[in-house]
Amino acid sequence: MTSASRTLLLRHRPALNRQVSRLPIYIGVTIIAVLVLYPFVFMLSTALRESTILRFSPWDLVPSDVTLANFHRLFSDTSMLNWLGNSMFVATTTALLKVGIDSLAGYAFARLQFKFKELIFLLLIAAMMVPPAVTIVPRFLLLRDIGLINTPWALILPHLSYPLGVFLMRQAMATIPYELEEAAKLDGCSVFTIYWRIVLPLVAPALAVVVITTFMYQWVDLLWPVVAITNDGLKTVTVGISSMKAEQSRADWGLIMAANTCAMIPIGMLFVFCQRYFMTGMTSGSLK
């Protein structure tokens, strides 16, 4: 070995050692990635096969004959478009209403002074500890009594009361320096203008978190829509897909997986679109 190549090797040794020491981390991360991705790949693989092929090896992920027949049947033989539309309306309306209500409530808790503020906030936080399943029966009875069962509002209104968003908004708004709001006051702003023009833009990442989590929750929720909606025309996409299995004597997995694939698209698009805000929002407040 020449002295030059020896020098080169010595110079690169620390970097090499670092790579080797990180090997277990890379292996661990790869295993987790495979475990997370496998169901998605399996779903897509099944959706792209002929439904007549009932069984295939779990390792056979690339179909020999790719077909879109399941997708054709999905939109011609089922009410998938209607279900998607219902889900989109419910999830979008809930997300928009929730982000408006939660940000207003969060601002009140973060900045305004009123009687029993701390107590009310404590009660809200305590409400987060109650598992949603516990409230299903009283929720159903309440909505039935006011005549909202079997309407989209039966899906939208209950979720608006879930206080996690208020907590998130309050925490995000509490980090905004008071001086910014004072400067806005002197610039002629009312309390609402300060909220609208100064505070909301500064908590955009937290707003994105509330929108995405609300949208996702409403999109994938199955239990409550099954209880609250029995009218076929109002079924959401999760209820619709689950009924596909129940209505057939033999589950048409190709069709179901095609439906699942379609159901995932809006969520995936929303996440990709808001990813930057979402990641910032998840870490906001962790560093000064």
| From 24, 179, 246, 286, residue interacting with another protein (rule: CB under 8 A) | 179
CB of 180 to another protein, least distance (A): 5
| From 4, 15, 20, 186, residue interacting with another protein (rule: CB under 8 A) | 186
180 binds another protein (CB under 8 A): yes
Could you tell me how many residues of this chain bind another protein (CB under 8 A)? 17
Residue 229 gets the label, from left (phi > 0), alpha (psi -120 to 50) or beta, of beta
123 binds another protein (CB under 8 A): no
177 binds another protein (CB under 8 A): yes
Stretch that binds another protein, among 45-53, 138-146, 174-182, 271-279 (CB under 8 A): 174-182
As a three-state string, the secondary structure of 161-227 is: CCCHHHHHHHHHHHCCCHHHHHHHHHCCCCHHHHHHHHHHHHCHHHHHHHHHHHHHHHHHCCHHHHH
Stretch that binds another protein, among 28-36, 197-205, 233-241, 273-281 (CB under 8 A): 197-205
189 binds another protein (CB under 8 A): yes
Q: Are 285 and 210 in contact (CB under 8 A)?
A: no
Nearer to another protein, 99 or 184 (CB): 184
CB of 108 to another protein, least distance (A): 19
Q: Are 225 and 236 in contact (CB under 8 A)?
A: yes
60 binds another protein (CB under 8 A): no
As a three-state string, the secondary structure of 236-249 is: CHHHHHHHHHHHCC
* Residue 103: both structure tokens together: 């940000």
Q: Are 281 and 205 in contact (CB under 8 A)?
A: yes
| From 60, 182, 232, 247, residue interacting with another protein (rule: CB under 8 A) | 182
Maximum distance among all alpha carbons in the chain? 89
Nearer to another protein, 60 or 182 (CB): 182
Residues in touch with another protein (CB under 8 A): 177, 179-180, 182-190, 193, 197-198, 201-202
